[in-house]
Every structure is written in structure tokens, then in C-alpha cells.
Amino acid sequence: METQRNWDYDKIAAKLAMHRVDIGEESIPLVLEEARKRKDADVIAHVAGWFEDRNDIKRYLELAMEAAGLGSAEANFWLGHEYRSGENLPRDYEKSYSWFIKGKDADWVPIDPEENAEIMDGNGGEVTAETLLRHGDIDWWLFLLEKHPTRAVKCGLADWYMKQRGDDNRDMALKMLEESANEGFEFAFFLLIKFYSEGEFKDIEKGKHWFYMAEERGFDESVFANQLGVESLECRKLKDAADNGDRRAAGKLACAYLHGGYGDYVCCAKDEALARHYGTLASAKEEGMDELVQGLDDNNLEDQRFLSEIAKLRS
């Protein structure tokens, strides 16, 4: 008989864990009794969820507290959410934070956005005010700024402060972006460079500073290279390769200097002299000429005139 009951317990527990599977009300007292004997925190949490699905909030909260006390990460997460939202419990960010911290093994603890693949992958690593507000109210994130000031929270709140306008908010936003960038958060570099590259507060020298700081961290913000009047990291890498005998790199550089850029990441200003210099280097070998031909437009007279000049030099 005991074996049969254990089998039933495991079967029902598995169904509860799957969610949305209807468990008959008659089974709940039996599985709850057995879960308490075994101190099975996760099953008690799933029973709590069963009551929540049936809108029995009082029983749901009682069992969630019980499961959390036994170590259920999921129940800790639920209680953190309840105290944060104020939906079924009085809003209390301190209590919410303490429950979330205990539930670090839950799928997502809304403390550091970087721990959440939905935020980081879904937004390409960008944490903006809009991103934060999809996952919590702004007062929650402002609370966390003091309690758990991670670089992603700083970046998202900096964006929020920037959008509030006013000198004080802007100064606060820039301070937080600088802290976030110095802690290695890539999107903070992007926002700083963007701020100094365009608009009312354009400052080319500060933009260049953060552009090169980003490079030191391994981040390529070449989208702003032309606005700042600098060559992108990929352009300089090509230049090093070309100067060391790589004819394909020289061919790409010739096209870049002729057009003021090559592809998405090789950014530079137009320079006919440098285009001719690297075109000549490229023409010394067949692979270099191939790169030139591929990078130039058959229907562009300037491109074809340039190619003819290089071909003459080669012959």
C-alpha cells in the first residue's frame, strides 16, 4: 500500500510541476500531507500554485510561505514578486528584496537585468528605461540602485534620468553612465558616445574619449566613427595588416578610403591619396586586385576610373 501511495505521490507531484495540468481537488490533501512528511519544498510550492490558480489567495500565500521556509527558490520568487507588486501583500521593497535574494535559483530574480536572458538576449544587451519598466516599476529600480547598484541597473536608470530632462537629471544620468561604462557595460559606452556625438550637447573630444575607452574594453562602436572624425578599430586593424604585406587588406582599405568606409565596421574619411596608396599596394598581387574589383562598383564611373589607374600602375 505504501509503495502504491509513493507512486501516486510522485506521479501527482510531476503533474503539479508541469503546470496547467488539472489535478483533482481530492488529491491535494494527500500530496500535501506526504510533501510535508518529506519536507519537499518544491511540491508544497506547486500546491501553493494550484491554490493560486483557483484564486484562493489566502491558502496560496500560506503555502508559499511554508515552501519558502523549507527552501523553495520558486516560492521565494513568488513572495518577492508579491511584496514588490503590492498585488496580494502590502508593497514592501525591503521584504521583496530579501525574498528575491533567497530565491536566487529561480528562473529570474528581478534584481540585476544581466541575470535575465529575456532582457539581455531580447534587447541585444541594451538596458534602457523601457526595458526596466517592462519588468518592474521605476520606484523598484530606484530602490535597487541603492541596495544592489549593478551596472545594468545604472545604465537603464541613466536612460530614465536622461529622458526626464533638466540639468540635474542629465548630470545624474551622465554620472551613472560613466560608472556603468567603467564597470564594463557595453551599452553604457554606446549611450555616452551617442550623447557626445550628436545633438545639443555634442562634444567631439569627450566622444572620442569614450570611443577609445570602449575599444580598450574590446567594444567596437564604429557606428559613431564618422561623426567623431575617427577611424574605426576595424579600419586600423586592416591598416596594420596592409602595412605588413596583406594585399587583400590593402584592397579593402583602398575601397574604404575611396568611399569613406567599407561595410558596416570599416569607417574612415574619404582620402584619395590613401586610396591610391593602398590600391597600389593591393595591385602587387592577384588577390589584392580581386579584392579591389569586388569592392568597387561596375556602374560607378569614379570607381572604374580609379580601378583603371591602379591597373596601369600595375602594368
Cβ contact 60:52 at 8 Å: yes
Grid cell, residue 67, equals: 515552501
Mean pLDDT of 112-136: 87
Model confidence pLDDT, tens digit, residues 205-259:
999 999 999 999 999 898 898 889 899 888 989 999 999 999 999 999 999 999 9
**Closest alpha carbon to 220 in 264, 252, 176:** 264
Q: Is the pLDDT of residue 119 over 60?
A: yes
Q: Which amino acid is at 219?
A: F
Residue 214 pLDDT: 95
Q: Is the pLDDT of residue 70 over 70?
A: yes
Q: Is the pLDDT of residue 149 over 70?
A: yes
Half-sphere exposure of residue 286: CA atoms within 13 angstroms, side-chain side: 0
Q: Is the pLDDT of residue 199 over 90?
A: no
**Mean model confidence pLDDT for the chain:** 90
Cβ contact 188:219 at 8 Å: no
pLDDT tier for residue 7 given thresholds of 50, 70 and 90: low
Residue 315 pLDDT: 60
In percent, the amount of the chain with pLDDT more than 90 equals: 63
Grid cell, residue 80, equals: 518577492
Which has the minimum average pLDDT: 61-70, 107-116, 184-193, 238-247?
107-116
Domain ranges of the chain: 2-102, 120-219, 233-314
Cross-strand bridge partners of residue 266: 262
Q: Is the pLDDT of residue 106 over 70?
A: no
Residue 107 pLDDT: 63
Distances (CA, A) of 275 to 258, 270, 282, 310: 5, 8, 10, 10
Residue 20 pLDDT: 55
**Highest mean pLDDT pick, 10-24, 242-256, 299-313:** 242-256
pLDDT tier for residue 3 given thresholds of 50, 70 and 90: very low
Residue 2 pLDDT: 43
In whole angstroms, what is the distance from residue 37 CA to residue 245 CA? 75
Residue 136 pLDDT: 86
pLDDT tier for residue 298 given thresholds of 50, 70 and 90: confident
Q: Is the pLDDT of residue 15 over 70?
A: yes
pLDDT tier for residue 1 given thresholds of 50, 70 and 90: very low
DSSP 265-310: TB-----HHHHHHHHHHHTTSHHHHHHHHHHS-TT-HHHHHHHHHH
Q: State the residue for C-alpha cell 530602490.
A: 143
Give the domain 2-102 fold. Answer: 1.25.40
Model confidence pLDDT, tens digit, residues 31-43:
999 999 999 999 9
Distances (CA, A) of 213 to 91, 120, 197, 207, 210: 41, 22, 15, 10, 5
pLDDT tier for residue 19 given thresholds of 50, 70 and 90: low
Cβ contact 73:45 at 8 Å: no
In whole angstroms, what is the distance from residue 249 CA to residue 287 CA? 10
Residue 223 pLDDT: 87
